[in-house]
Amino acid sequence: MFDFRYHAVSLAAVLVALAVGVLLGVAIGDAGLVSSAEKQVRSSLRDDVRGAQAKEQAAGDQLVAEQRYSRAAYPFVVGGRLQGAKVGLVFLGEPNEAIAADVRSALEGSGADLSGTLALREPPDLAALAESGGSNRYAQLEANAVLLTPFGKSIGRQLILGGQLLRSEANALFTTRAGGLGPFDVVVVVRVPRVLTGEAAANTNRLEDGIMAGLTKTRSAIVGVQSTTTRPSQVGWYRDRGLSSVDNIGTTAGQAALVFALAGAQGSFGSGPDAGSLLPGPELAAK
- 55 CA to centre of own chain: 27
| pLDDT tens profile 222-246 | 999 999 999 999 999 999 999 999 9
pLDDT in tens, 147-187: 999 999 999 999 999 999 999 999 999 999 999 999 999 99
**What pLDDT band is residue 36 in, cutting at 50, 70 and 90?**
confident
pTM of the model: 0.76
Query: Burial, 142: exposed, middle or buried (Cβ in 10 Å; 0-12, 13-18, 19+)?
Result: middle
CATH of 82-285, picked from 1.10.132, 3.30.2010, 1.20.120, 3.40.50, is 3.40.50
Distance CA 269, CA 258 (A): 8
Domain range annotation of the chain = 1-78, 82-285
The span from the CA of 49 to the CA of 38, in Å, is 16
My answer on whether omega of the bond before 280 falls inside 30° of 0, hence cis, is: no
What value does the mean pLDDT of the chain take?
Answer: 86
CA angle 97, 98, 104 (to 5 degrees): 85
Residue 19: which pLDDT band, with cuts at 50, 70 and 90?
low
> What is the distance between the alpha carbons of residues 116 and 88, in angstroms, rounded to a whole number?
5
Q: What pLDDT shows up at residue 286?
A: 47
